[in-house]
Amino acid sequence: MGHYSSTGRPAINQPEIFRALVVMSHCKEGITSFVKKLKSHPVLAVICGFEPDAIPGVGTFYDFMNRFWLEEEPAKVLREPLRKKAKKPKNGEKLPEKDKDRVAQLVDQVLEGHSFEGPESLLQRILAECAVKPSLELELCGNPQKLVFAGDGAPLETGADHRGKKVCSCREQGVYHCYCPRLYTDPTANWGWDSYHRLWFYGHTLYYFNAADSFNDLPLLVHLTQASSHDSCTFVTAYAQLRQLYPDLSFSSLLLDSAHDAYAIYRLLNIHEIEPFIDLNNRRGQKPKFSAFNINDQGQPLCMAEREMLFNGLDKKRQRIKWRCPQHKDLKQCEHSNECSPSSYGRVVYTKPDDDFRLFTKTPHGSKAWKKTYARRTSVERTLKRSLVDYDIENLRLRAKKRWFWFSTLSAINQHLDAQVKAGRKELFIRLGLIEDAA
């Protein structure tokens, strides 16, 4: 496959090692402890495909994992210490972007065809081919012709020491608080803010896309970035990888939290004809004016009496949203009935998504349809919870990005296998006549 030498003794047991890694993730074990378990449990070794007396060593597993990472990652790096900010954000808030133009720049690169392919691309293809595509064929991810997906990130605290190891001679000279370059065992880790637990953490951010229109809550893409990366920037690079990985999939809607509320993201989704369901961040954007009426934070026009006008449907032919007078049932109850509109139907206002991608969405913010769809965004949080808690990733003390990515990918594969086994068991029960086919 291009990742092994073409000369010398051929590699053996590669499918078996991969199967063993998947089982290891299912058993919530580390590599060293799982190899010991394989040697002491012959049945488990046979399940993985090994002969009970021919179990590969721990080094063989690590070598296998290294070959799937498409760059040389240094074991240690020498750099200056990274200091976290002293000021904490307010309760429930996330860190603001360092560069507000960065999201727009990344979106422009995506529209120019940049795929942001990284050293993890081979593992992402393995997840797609071995887990996601079989689940799509079984329709475990919802409608593959109109796929609804969601994205979110979660903190991963590294096992490396954020203080590093001093290599200077300052301590010998009586200087105990220096900022000379130090050795760090997790080269890409840095400081980030965990808005849920309201604390700083040192490590990485695990970002998932998942199929939100299915109660299986299955992941589509695993993406890993620095802890300091803002979710809006992380989204753009992960989205480019998703489009590259699944060119034939048709995405209809995307569900994101308020950290992704950026005009550039709305512009990207509008060009790709994906309907955004993004929670509005009140600190972003300005309240535009539409004709003689104001617009509230949810994109709803306000009448002359400063009341929210009522959503009255979408005109698909003209691609505009119709809003009607909130007092149309009894216009005399409004103090502005004479000056607002002479029509007995009441004042009508139209908004178009092209006027403002963020506020004038196809499905209006705050409407019942919008809330019903957006409620499914929590599916990506459940997907992350399964990886972090159920498969115990958050308690691993790993010190390299490729190790974090491997264990995250294995947990994502196991989530698909769980759903596929459950679906296969149901088909078996139907064939045996133990349950009735709902169709």
Q: Which residue has the higher pLDDT, 296 or 209?
A: 209
Q: Which residue has the higher pLDDT, 191 or 346?
A: 191
Token digits of residue 50: 């090994």
User: If DSSP states are collapsed to H, E and C, what string results for 54-107?
Assistant: CCCCHHHHHHHHHHCCCCCCCCCEEECCCCCCCCCCCCCCCCCCCCCCHHHHHH
Token digits of residue 109: 């690169």
Mean pLDDT of the chain: 86
Q: What confidence category does residue 184 fall into, taking pLDDT thresholds of 50, 70 and 90? A: very high
Domains in the chain with CATH codes: 14-67 (no CATH), 92-164+191-282+375-429 (3.30.420.10), 289-355 (no CATH)
Mean pLDDT across 9-19: 88
Q: What confidence category does residue 344 fall into, taking pLDDT thresholds of 50, 70 and 90? A: confident
- Encode pLDDT of 299-333 as tens digits: 677 887 778 878 877 776 666 778 888 777 777 77
- Encode pLDDT of 359-403 as tens digits: 778 888 878 889 999 999 999 999 999 999 999 999 998 988 999
Query: Is the pLDDT at 290 greater than 60, yes or no?
Result: no
Of the candidate ranges 267-271, 342-346, 418-422, the one whose mean pLDDT is the lowest: 342-346
Highest mean pLDDT among 2-16, 81-95, 355-369, 411-425 belongs to 411-425
- What is residue 289's predicted lDDT score, i.e. its pLDDT? 45
Q: Which residue has the higher pLDDT, 222 or 338?
A: 222
Place of tokens 């965004």: 377
Query: Is the pLDDT at 65 greater than 90, yes or no?
Result: yes
Q: What confidence category does residue 196 fall into, taking pLDDT thresholds of 50, 70 and 90? A: confident
Of the candidate ranges 75-84, 242-251, 268-277, the one whose mean pLDDT is the lowest: 75-84
Q: What confidence category does residue 355 fall into, taking pLDDT thresholds of 50, 70 and 90? A: low
- The percentage of residues in the chain with a pLDDT greater than 70, rounded to a whole number, is 89
Query: Is the pLDDT at 147 greater than 60, yes or no?
Result: yes
